[in-house]
Homo-oligomer: A and B are copies of this chain.
Amino acid sequence: MKSQLTRSQNIVLKLLKQLNREISAQELYVELRKANLSLGLATIYRALDALKLHGAIQARLLSNGETLYTTAQQDRHHLTCLQCGTSIPIQDEDCPVHALEEQLQQSGKFEIFYHTLEFFGLCSPCRLEQSHSNS
C-alpha cells in the first residue's frame, strides 16, 4: 500500500476528480496551466503512472496513440467507430462483467483495479460513406 502521494500526484488527482471526465495528459497540461498550477509534461506523465499503479485512476488507450485518464469508477464502456474514431460512452445500470471480475479476483493471483469494455464498429455516417466508395 502506498502511503503518501507527492505534490504533483495530488494536484493531478484533484483535477481529475474535479473534471470528472476522460482527459489526456496533454490536455491536463493545458488545464493545469490555466489553473496556475503548471507542471512539466514529464511530471504529469510520471504522476499519472504512479496513480494508475495505486489504482486511483484508470486509463483508456485510443487508436491515435493517446491515453485518456479518469478517476476510477464510472463509465468505462464505449462504442467506438473504427473509421472516424468517435467514441460514445455506454451507461449500463448493471455491468454484465462484474460477476466475472469477482471470479477472477477470487483466484488471488491477480489484484484487479478496473476493467475496460469497448465495442468497435462503424457509426452510421461512416457506414454510409463506406458503402458509397465501394459502389
Residues of A near any B CB (own CB < 8 A): 1-3, 52-53, 55, 58-59, 61-63, 65, 67, 79, 81-83, 90, 92, 96-97, 99-101, 104, 109-124, 127, 130-131, 134
Contacts and interface: CB of A to CB of B under 8 A. Distances in A.
A82 B116 contact: no
Nearest to A61: B61
A49 to B, nearest CB: 9
Interface pairs A-B: 7 shortest CB-CB: A61-B61, A112-B121, A96-B96, A115-B119, A113-B121, A111-B121, A111-B122
A43 to B, nearest CB: 19
Contact of A96 (B2, B55, B82, B99): B99
Given A97-B96, A100-B92, A3 B121 contact: no
Number of copies: 2
Nearest to A115: B119
A62 to B, nearest CB: 8
B116 A117 contact: yes
Contact of A114 (B58, B81, B92, B120): B120
A123 B104 contact: no
A122 B1 CA distance: 12
Contacts of A62: 61
Contacts of A90: 104
19 contacts: A58-B120, A59-B63, A59-B120, A61-B61, A63-B67, A79-B104, A79-B112, A109-B124, A110-B119, A110-B121, A110-B122, A110-B124, A111-B121, A111-B122, A115-B117, A115-B118, A116-B116, A116-B118, A117-B118
